[in-house]
Structure 1
């Protein structure tokens, strides 16, 4: 370790979770066998178990990637941690940044986090909370024997329709998967009570609910898991009758077979590709003569995408929310071990539990290898996070009885700028953690404003109002409003722009200024602007209006800019597209506030992380996701390219007409707008899902943070709410007197903002509950 870098100059000892997966054919998919990581890019560190020993760490990097390293003993782990940055486990979990938090046990991490309270208050989804529990409890995508575990929740895999409001369609989450039926519960209890081997503690289940074999069986239709699966089965796919072939059949096996008690994995709630044999693997023919291809879905599922949609909606339903805490008790909580586990029929083979054995106390190498093989191949129980019952989630109706009541008025307020310059960009940086929530707007004359947002504002029927900035000071306003004008601009003369609120030089005259020319940081401290004639894009300090950085990396004018998802003060990717037909990916250091250089050191010249090629026309639209490791770009000739953040080209789509907007959801659904009128949605594998034509020119689009809805603004003055999958127009707001040039949605999803061509900002009340599946089908049944 030198020069501020952690290096592995030679290939480390490869310790895969399943040794039989460590063939050269599989290792070609592994990154970082020879690796170097900059210490400044480490954002979080977790202690991890390897073979049930606390000898590993997992580092989460600014690029949203994770690296897991296993060492010889715990003392070595501590020495390494004390040489690493004091990043703790990250502000995401509400913990201080120190070495002490890096060395916390999983139970301490859980207790010090406020994620449980957020889940109870319904501030985070069931999916996000389960991912948090898996992460804190030591489950990691980097180890197949400790892969994240999710519950089976549905039982209806035979009907033509699925009603998510009927309790009988859901599994009883208070019981382990092996004891759902009375006959199986009696079978396993009899095994436990009649156990007579003094050398091995009694158990209900010899097979774990999460093993490398189970995980690979779910994922074997996609790489690199297909190669791992083949390696696990001695160079071939498993017998066709044992391959994951039918959701219904797999569920029935889990209810019938004493050796099959598997739970699910996260991918079954967000990744439809696991159900398709897109790679055309020869998976063989079953004994009944059926050829194994795509996974057979329930009759109510129209496609893998539709299955995943319904599966996710079921996970987030109130029926599941109200009993999910009982499943957590079984997997991560007080029913995981001890007398409560015995009463719950939830005891597994002793070598699956943390602290069950100390390998250093075994002198016989053959015995050590046998124990390691047992641990790595047959599953590991998560770390126990609670020794008391997990609190239940608040019911939707008991928590907020009026949350489903329809708002009487759509319009909340209108704020008009005296300059009359079109509002071409809006950024609603309104996270509740911010001391000063702000709506950043940029006008066509390159004047920007920092407008104060009031997160405590609640809708009231008498509070709707129109506000004109030349009608007097804010103190004379008659009603409370959520948006307050930037005081720097409230008294400014239209003829004398304030230097502190101007982006500097004019843009290239060949460009029409649009929302694609600007992005902001989540704390509103910086604006990224592109379109300057010197081929740069610039980082503007919003407090002073001065250029913090002018960044050069293209051979022509930069035409569009986008950034990846990010939390407060965290790093992110910034992607820029140009008339030179290239896309360049940059790394934004959120803690220091600059576009980073090669070594991410202050004062360095900004350096691209990747230069993406393949287009033959001007880049017109961009979307970048650090979580998915994707950069998606569109150009004037209708081509959309999928690149990895490492620069590899994955997919190419040829559409009709120029690509004018791109947006991507957390579930990796792509919203593409062609020729400003035709909306097309694609999957992560570039599969066309839906297509709709709109009757007027769409100038702007944004996707909600939950990834379920898209919001568009059009020349006809209308803001429209769309469901991304299946692509459906859900609601259209009243027409405005001017074209909508930019749109944004607040962090709490309660308000939608539009920037108008007339120089005004309109704020609409949003009623996403009305458009949500559960409201529409449970609380307001359709006639």
Structure 2
């Protein structure tokens, strides 16, 4: 539409998407009044690149400050301040022809109608009035936070948090199993029958460590003073007591050439099933976390399956599962939360069919990083700089930004369109990375046992936690983004208090 407007000479006042701030195709967009050709959009001094311009504008428009004032805008445009005395007091009065019903065009002759239509087009039209009473303000996070802080005595702190919102680490639970947790998979939503942090060792011994959502949250339903010295994570009693290890051990043979890592395991959103790959027969398998029994074997690849991933779940627990293999393909599967199987048909659970086949890799699915649609179409490859050739870890935000960790400590941040936005190099051998739910913050951990928090857009370092006595092998966040659970090389699980608001520009004056 913008291109057609430019060709016809009309006024092209259209908001451009981020990728169109640069005229990369060198279209001829005309000349300005001063004779300068129209080309790239000139950005304000506070935006170094188009992505910064979009990101900062979004931060402003989606901020809590704007949310708190949103009802006033509704009152002016659609509400009781649109017309009458309240509109006059609010200086919200326009030309009378702009208002709905001000004139009946059907009763005018052609000449009068044309004049009034031209005037309406020039002045604009006021939308229909929908409300005649003040619109209630939105319950923003800032309002709720003030209410919560008011309900807690300033001299008392929740037991799990040494200070309000203090990010000091505290050990949550110690595992007596000798192998270290190679995967930490957390689903802690309160409505789950078993909110838990599921950990898996390299010997495929898994533990369902129950999560207590009320611990440490004074004022939460079910909170009691008896919980004052308890931690939110409780070690799996079958592992702690060594009484039911047979229900937690996956004994099926894996291919000897497979290096077991966090990508070999996926846990369903209800924590009831664990999916495991790497088996010699080129399958991946589904096990019950309650009994440890095998419930389904899924075939589809021509070589050993080396990695699994899960999408966010729909209502009911349905989600997509992606399996990657040495046959250089990825298969997209559908997990039925109702039937607890791969596939839609419980009568055909022995032979489920993938939803799509994703191709584009020349070798085993390790790199480069490719972007596909869920129907199987290859969109683009995320190609890093010359020294960034072998990706090891990847984390994707809901906004489509991809953080990729390559060998030798190199990180890259890509947009969903494949543009390299930022890069950095670290000295530590990173073993785990993850993004906060809003995609603004990156958390990393590695062999030096230090958790670091970065600003995802430009890799600015925000915080370094005190080092632990063992390297970090895996990590995940609780559903409320307030606790970071890490699996350590010592075989223990360590929980860190974390509050991303600490580094948010709107909340920094609170700390």
Match 1:424 to one of 178, 182, 187: 182
Please name the residue that 1:243 is paired with: 12
Say whether residues 1:486 and 2:239 are aligned partners.
no
Q: TM-score, normalised by structure 1?
A: 0.54
Deviation at 1:341, TM superposition (A): 7.2
- In structure 2, the CA distance between the partners of 1:398 and 1:577, relative to structure 1 (3 Å rule), is same
Deviation at 1:279, TM superposition (A): 4.6
1:466-514 CA-partner distances (Å, limit 9, x unpaired): xxxxxxxxxx999311111122222115xx7323x23341322212111
Please name the residue that 1:253 is paired with: none
Say whether residues 1:411 and 2:169 are aligned partners.
yes
Q: Secondary structure at the match of 1:480?
A: coil
Please name the residue that 1:313 is paired with: 59
Please name the residue that 1:498 is paired with: 246
Match 2:363 to one of 617, 638, 647: 617
CA contact (8 A) 2:186 2:477 kept: yes
Match 2:258 to one of 501, 511, 514: 511
Give the Cα–Cα distance (whole angstroms) in 1 for the partners of residues 63 and 439 of structure 2: 17
Say whether residues 1:757 and 2:489 are aligned partners.
yes
Output the aligned Cα RMSD.
Answer: 3.7
1:301-380 matches, within 5 Å, as 301-330=47-76, 345=92
Please name the residue that 1:721 is paired with: 453
Give the Cα–Cα distance (whole angstroms) in 2 for the partners of residues 739 and 382 of structure 1: 62
In structure 2, list runs of 5 or more residues that go unmatched: 101-119, 219-225
Give the Cα–Cα distance (whole angstroms) in 2 for the partners of residues 351 and 542 of structure 1: 65
Give the Cα–Cα distance (whole angstroms) in 2 for the partners of residues 382 and 517 of structure 1: 56
- In structure 2, the CA distance between the partners of 1:572 and 1:338, relative to structure 1 (3 Å rule), is farther
Say whether residues 1:667 and 2:396 are aligned partners.
no
Please name the residue that 1:602 is paired with: 346
CA contact (8 A) 2:71 2:136 kept: yes
CA contact (8 A) 2:167 2:498 kept: no
Give the Cα–Cα distance (whole angstroms) in 1 for the partners of residues 328 and 32 of structure 2: 50
- In structure 2, the CA distance between the partners of 1:333 and 1:586, relative to structure 1 (3 Å rule), is farther
- In structure 2, the CA distance between the partners of 1:775 and 1:350, relative to structure 1 (3 Å rule), is same
- In structure 2, the CA distance between the partners of 1:350 and 1:573, relative to structure 1 (3 Å rule), is farther
CA contact (8 A) 2:410 2:424 kept: yes
Deviation at 1:237, TM superposition (A): 4.1
- In structure 2, the CA distance between the partners of 1:286 and 1:398, relative to structure 1 (3 Å rule), is same
Q: Specify which structure has the bigger relative contact order, considering alpha-carbon pairs within 8 angstroms and separated by 6 or more residues.
A: 2
Q: Secondary structure at the match of 2:487?
A: strand
In structure 1, list runs of 5 or more residues that go unmatched: 1-215, 221-228, 246-263, 354-373, 461-475, 621-634
Deviation at 1:676, TM superposition (A): 5.6
Please name the residue that 1:285 is paired with: 31
CA contact (8 A) 1:595 1:606 kept: yes
1:556-705 matches, within 5 Å, as 556-596=303-343, 600-604=344-348, 605-620=351-366, 635=367, 639-655=368-384, 656-675=388-407, 677-705=409-437
CA contact (8 A) 1:333 1:390 kept: no
CA contact (8 A) 2:80 2:134 kept: yes
Give the Cα–Cα distance (whole angstroms) in 1 for the partners of residues 96 and 311 of structure 2: 43
Say whether residues 1:743 and 2:490 are aligned partners.
no
1:761-780 matches, within 5 Å, as 761-776=493-508, 778-779=509-510
Give the Cα–Cα distance (whole angstroms) in 2 for the partners of residues 239 and 613 of structure 1: 45
Please name the residue that 1:54 is paired with: none
Moved more, 273-282 or 715-724: 273-282
1:347-376 CA-partner distances (Å, limit 9, x unpaired): 8999999xxxxxxxxxxxxxxxxxxxx9xx
- In structure 2, the CA distance between the partners of 1:653 and 1:481, relative to structure 1 (3 Å rule), is closer
Give the Cα–Cα distance (whole angstroms) in 2 for the partners of residues 548 and 479 of structure 1: 39
- In structure 2, the CA distance between the partners of 1:380 and 1:746, relative to structure 1 (3 Å rule), is farther
CA contact (8 A) 1:328 1:390 kept: no
1:414-463 CA-partner distances (Å, limit 9, x unpaired): 42222221111112211233344211111222122221112122279xxx
1:4-83 matches, within 5 Å, as none
Give the Cα–Cα distance (whole angstroms) in 2 for the partners of residues 492 and 530 of structure 1: 26
1:593-652 CA-partner distances (Å, limit 9, x unpaired): 3222xxx333333222221111112113xxxxxxxxxxxxxx2xxx22122222222212
CA contact (8 A) 1:329 1:390 kept: no
Deviation at 1:742, TM superposition (A): 0.6
CA contact (8 A) 2:383 2:418 kept: no
- Number of equivalenced pairs: 468
CA contact (8 A) 2:207 2:236 kept: yes
- In structure 2, the CA distance between the partners of 1:442 and 1:665, relative to structure 1 (3 Å rule), is same
Give the Cα–Cα distance (whole angstroms) in 1 for the partners of residues 434 and 335 of structure 2: 21
